[in-house]
Amino acid sequence: MNPDTQIEMMGSSPTFVSVLRASRLVAATGATVLIQGESGVGKELLARAIHDASPRSKGPFVPVNCAALSESLVESELFGHTKGAFTGALNERAGRIAAAHGGTLFLDEVGDMPLSIQAKMLRFLENGECQPLGQEQPRKVNVRVVAATNRDLSALVLANRFRQDLFYRLQVVPLMLPPLRERGQDVELLTRAFLAFFSTRHGVSCPVFARGAQEVLRHYSWPGNIRELRNLCERAVIFHPGQSLDETFVQGQLNAQISSGQVSMSNAELLTPALALPNGGISLDTLERDMIRAALERTQGNRTHAARLLDVSRDTLLYRMKKHALR
């Protein structure tokens, strides 16, 4: 059980509330939903809320992180396989789609789904048929799909990295969660709620943010959105229970978060050039090696996360690491 589900989706800013309202209506149908929004805005939470408000709430909610699956495994993971379908397939396996029968399949980070699997995914969305590897006969399944991504899918379509037909199938119901910095008073509301929540959970008395600290929080850009705010509040509760915290605490915390790099980039940042070419030129090869090394350092060696920072699939990263003899 996800401990997050103890928290309801909170907020009172108009755009956020409208999205919630629309999502509750949409939940009543079986329509495919595409949730878009920056990292940490609550896409997964909303996907669960849609499942819970739907007539399928008694059925399973099956999340699949498309970015975490390697290209070679993704097909059998999603569609399942028969015994002996490929070397290493010792047993039959049902796959995530079949596991979601009667419930909701949550395709998280759908923008990172390998192109090779997209055609098969499209067929599944079009006629509800799931064909396990090594099996001739497709199986009919009854699954509602909710997908989420923090990437700009239409830009990926233009760049030929995401199939246009799949994009249209997914975004029958497009829901766009606003970033925290556009949610005005919600920063305050969420801060109070998180502080209270974590003090109860850790059994300590609740810290408060002094006026100056609140001011800093209100004007901060929150690249990691609600997740970032939530983590900040949890640290405040753990390290300073019952205290009044001023802006130095907050500033220190926010800087620490930026430099530890757990904050992912927004789409706008991804579209503007990240680096300038030095006047004397640069070796592309060295640049690639340095960037891979930096990404691995920043993620403490976690290759899935490093691949995400570099916007490539995990397989691509592994291949390039080998090329540069990195480990």
Partner 1 sequence: MDHFSLLIPLLLALSSVLHCLGMCGGIVGAISYHLSSSLGSDRRRIWPFLLAANLGRLVSYALAGGLVASFGRTLFTTLSPEYGHTLLQGFAGVILVGNGLFLIGKFPELHRIEQWGGYLWRGLEPLAKRFMTPKTIAQAFLFGLVWGWFPCSLVYGALLWSSASCSALSGAAVMVLFGVGTIPGMLSAGWVAGSLVRLGGLSRFGRITALILLGIGVFNLILLGINVHNPKLHEINHIINCLIPP
Label residue 314 exposed, middle or buried (CB < 10 Å: 0-12, 13-18, 19+): buried
Check residue 112 for interaction with Mg ion (CB under 5 A): no
- Confirm or reject binding of residue 294 to ligand ATP (CB under 6 A): no
Cα–Cα distances (Å) from 74 to 128, 135, 315, in that order, read: 18, 16, 12
Applying CB under 8 A, what is the total number of residues that bind partner 1?
A: 28
Q: According to CB under 6 A, which one of 230, 305, 308, 314 is a site residue for ligand ATP?
A: 230
Q: Do residues 225 and 179 touch, judged by C-beta distance below 8 A?
A: yes
Nearest approach in angstroms of CB 93 to partner 1 is 29
The pattern of x and - marking residues 147 through 186 that bind ligand ATP according to CB under 6 A reads ---x------------------------------------
Instruction: Tell which one of 44, 77, 186, 228 touches Mg ion (CB under 5 A).
Output: 44
Residue with Cβ nearer Mg ion (34 or 250): 34
Q: Which of 2, 4, 5, 24 binds partner 1 (CB under 8 A)?
A: 24
Binding to Mg ion by residue 38, rule CB under 5 A? no
Q: Which does 255 bind (CB under 5 to 8 A by kind): partner 1, ligand ATP, Mg ion, none?
A: none
Which residue of 4, 215, 269, 285 would you call a contact of ligand ATP, by CB under 6 A? Answer: 4
Near ligand ATP by CB under 6 A, which window of 1-9, 54-62, 202-210, 251-259?
1-9
- Rounded to whole angstroms, how far apart are CA atoms 90 and 165? 35
Least distance (Å) between residue 27 CB and partner 1: 8
The answer to whether residue 127 forms part of the interface with partner 1 (CB under 8 A) is no
d(CA 43, CA 117): 23
Of the candidate residues 61, 79, 106, 167, the single one contacting partner 1 (CB under 8 A): 167
154 is a site residue for partner 1 (CB under 8 A): yes
Point out which span in 161-169, 222-230, 285-293, 302-310 binds ligand ATP (CB under 6 A). 222-230
From the list ligand ATP, Mg ion, partner 1, none, partner contacted by residue 42 (C-beta under 5 to 8 A by kind): ligand ATP
**What is the DSSP code (8-state) at residue 24?**
H
Helix, coil or strand: residue 239: helix
- Contact at 8 Å (CB) between 298 and 309? yes
Pick from 123, 1, 111, 103: which is nearest to 50 by CA? 103
**Which residues neighbour 325 within 8 Å (Cβ) at sequence distance 6 or greater?**
none
Q: Least distance (Å) from partner 1 to the CB of residue 144?
A: 10
Taking the complex as a whole, the smallest distance from the CB of residue 92 to ligand ATP amounts, in Å, to: 31
Q: Which is nearer to ligand ATP, 32 or 39 (CB)?
A: 39
Closest-CA residue to 10 (of 66, 63, 67, 49): 49
Distance CA 283, CA 6 (A): 50
Report the run of H or E that residue 292 belongs to, with start and end. helix 284-298
- Asked if 122 and 168 count as a contact pair (C-beta separation under 8 A), the reply is no
b/e per residue 64-94 (b: at least 16 CB within 10 A): bebbbbeeeebbbbbbbbbeebeeeeeeebe
Q: What angle do CA 74, 78, 84 make, to 5 degrees?
A: 80
Give the residues lining the site for partner 1 (CB under 8 A): 12, 14, 17-18, 21-22, 24-26, 28-33, 153-155, 157-158, 167-168, 171-176
Give the residues lining the site for Mg ion (CB under 5 A): 44
Give the residues lining the site for ligand ATP (CB under 6 A): 4, 7, 9-11, 37, 39-45, 150, 226-227, 230
